[in-house]
Amino acid sequence: MKIKQLVLAASFVMMAPAMAADEAMNPAARQEQQAEAPATPSTTGTIARSTFTTAVENREPVDSISKMGADKNKIYYFTELKDMSGQQVTHRWEYNGKVMAEVPFQVGGSRWRVFSSKLLDNIWLGEWKVSVIDANGSTLSVNTFTYTGEAASGEMKAAPAEASPNSNEMKSAPVETTAQ
C-alpha cells in the first residue's frame, strides 16, 4: 500500500513542473495561442426589407402577401440587404419544421436585393417559413406565409391523383434564385 502511495506521489511531482509551466505562460504567449483559434466573421449590415410576393419585376416585389391560395403554385421571397457587401446569406425554406430548400447568396454591394422562389405542390398546405441566415448560422430575419387549399373563387382545389396519402412525404420542387 505504501508503495502505491509513493508511486502516486512521484507521478504528481513529475507532472507538477509541466502544470506550473502552463500556468506561468506569459500573457503574450496566451494571446498568441488565442489568436491561433479561427475567428468567426461577424455579420455587419441589416435586412432593410424581406417579404413574400407573387412576382418580382425590375428587382422589386410587385406585392407583399402573407397568404396564397392553391390556385397559384409559385411564390417568391424577396430580401433587400444593406451594408453587407462581401458576406453570404441564405434563404432557408421550411414547411412543417422540415427544411425544404436552402438558397445561398453572395452579397455584391452595399445595397443588394436577392430573391428565391418555390414551386409549391397543393399537398403542402399550411404555414411556410423562410429565414435569412448569415454565414455563422444566425437568423437575421424570419417571415411566414400560409398556403391555403382555397382557390381564388373560394372553392377547394383537389389534390393530384399521384399525391401520397402520407402527409410527411414531400416531393422535391425546384427553387429559383436571383441576386443583384
Amino acid 43: pLDDT: 80
Rank 17-26, 59-68, 159-168 by mean pLDDT and report only the highest: 59-68
Amino acid 152: pLDDT: 54
Q: Is residue 79 part of a domain?
A: yes
State the average pLDDT for the chain. 75
Q: Is residue 98 part of a domain?
A: yes
Amino acid 27: pLDDT: 52
Q: How far apart are CA 6 and CA 8, in angstroms?
A: 5
Range of the domain at 93: 46-153
φ/ψ (deg, to 5) at 68: -140, 135
Q: Is residue 23 part of a domain?
A: no
The string of pLDDT tens digits covering residues 8-55 is 444 444 444 444 444 444 555 545 555 554 455 678 899 999 999 999
Which domain CATH number covers 120?
Answer: 2.60.40.1930
Q: How far apart are CA 62 and CA 65, in angstroms?
A: 10
Model's pTM, two decimal places? 0.64
Amino acid 178: pLDDT: 52
The string of pLDDT tens digits covering residues 68-113 is 998 999 999 999 999 999 999 999 999 999 999 999 999 999 999 9
- Name the amino acid, one letter, at 127: E
**CB neighbourhood size of 171 (10 A):** 12
Nearest C-alpha neighbor of 92 from the set 127, 120, 116, 109: 116
- The residues, ordered by sequence, that sit 6+ positions from 148 with a Cβ below 8 Å of its Cβ are 67, 68, 69, 70, 125
Helices (H) then strands (E): counts for the chain: 2, 11
The string of pLDDT tens digits covering residues 125-139 is 999 999 999 999 999
Banded model confidence at residue 156, pLDDT cuts 50, 70, 90: very low
- Cα separations in angstroms, 73 against 104, 119, 124, 146, 174: 22, 6, 10, 12, 12
Q: Is residue 108 part of a domain?
A: yes
